[in-house]
Structure 1
């Protein structure tokens, strides 16, 4: 319903409109004519059939001035009889004509456009360069996401290659543990074979050795049995671990943190063997060895075995001799020589000065050549580092040698040793 207080198309309030030209208010005009346009609310002449302002037909109730149907007999707003309209203004205009007239008079309007369509039309008008500039940050973000996704894919592929392939030799058997330090996956030295083989899974192969021992190969480790007792365990699988959780792939730091630095280290080619000594339940001496790669500093294999009294005792004594020299404990080192060998190198006063400038004496590749009775012979490689007198430089010398160890009571001593220099350099 329109009233005289509605806003027209220009947004002006017709009730407060003032004419600047004649200074006559709308209130006074309405008082004279008593008739208003039902569409724009402006005053019109009493006998006007169309509004002189908006051009629309003015069919209003003479009583309340509300729009009415020309064919109606009574006003739908106030109920006043409308026959007076016929008497005042003559026949009312035909509705069809009025609608046609309205189409002509009404200002041209644009068809409604859906907001999405309008946005698309606006975007079409924006130059491509401007659009790219506007979305630069979004494009950069998408590029970063793409780079991260590609890097993640490469990493995942690398990790998948590092994992054991389906059907590989890594077992899914649960890891067991034993009280003994001389154990792998719960199998320990001196354990009965009937008890040890439970839980090892399917046996892959079996072979006999000349000394009567039987080698059993399983998925995660090899087990050597003699007289129905486990005498040796070896594993290069990450699925087999020691009592303290060390396995193939563990770092050297992991080994030292777990077992300490009370080990014997021997160099063998591209590996260094770190060996720890423990006792079995019945008091036998056993060796826990971690073979560590020089390059990666990670464990390549683990072995657990009973010590060979002759070989291992002699070996440990020879390594202890060079460790004493590296620590400048020359008195103790001299006592590790037999009396005859001491006489051959002179007394202590003649022996000690030869090591006055020695910084380290490291043995590697220690291998048994012969063994019999209370005598064992090894070959070895020696790396000696000596300070050059009057200089801050160090001479590094390499030797290949041979040593014979003999048992003197309960200890092993050096009875003979010779070496040939194979190279040297200064650092």
Structure 2
């Protein structure tokens, strides 16, 4: 019988398998009897508000909620999303032509390249960056051009060092600020420059704004769409996962340029039937609460956790600059005070594995997000303060080899 592979070669090129690898380390630690504090995956540990949960519970009991929903989302949700954009950023979009509902922003990030590019096109993505940025290009047969994000430039791309031919070839340029994993924020001047480049070279500007409500110390993340002329060249992803603690509900939206939004809407009409109507009703309530102020902004919670955790790590000898936004800490590797028994060098992956297996604290090695992430680990602030304090103590003992 002939042997044929039933596994696409593309699967091996989608990016790092580190999340599965960390899961195996976690299993190893649990099997050894260790209690694990998981600061790896950025999944909020708080539920949505009581109002959102009540809306969801009532909606699932409605008998008419079990037909196929619209692939572009209900007009009620799209109007509410547009109203929230107007309230939060002063951005005006047409909910029919310039906004499409998504099964979380990951849905849109995974499919946008398929909708706006042809195989062989070039797209520019950050390094390090959220893994789906590059994986989506592989799925679509798009050639990636990587923009390095480095500490010496505030984890912003050095636009003056980008060769002109990169902009000329690019079909779209994707970035996200506040940024995952590097936690950086960008100012208005950066966004203005990117819009100018997009207009000059004709590429689509794609902004991932999943962490719009997680600015600290007075930082108010901005929308690229609030700038003059942005809708001519830009689209922006928004997610209710982090801002409204609805990660498991899978709902978000893309807004901006009518042609690009329409292309994604057309693609989705061929591959899915949209977000469950009850989830959309819950999303409407969440966005309404965001406008009315019923829900306390999530940034306050994560700023407090950041302060407690960074101070606790400093007391253990690991000094880390405070992030300005997101639910993560992007931490340079600590100075380890002991040697590995096998004589291997400490790197992000080895530190992450040994920290989990020996100390029971899960973090993600920075190289999982791209080559420029080597030398860092990403830590998610997704536990209550008492757990974060315990994690810091365990990390300190691990660093010292105790």
Measured against the shorter chain, the TM-score band is: under 0.3
Query: Which is greater in Rg?
Result: 1
- Structure richer in strand, relative to its length: 1
Q: Which has the higher contact order (CA 8 A, sep 6+)?
A: 2
- What's the TM-score, normalizing by structure 2? 0.20
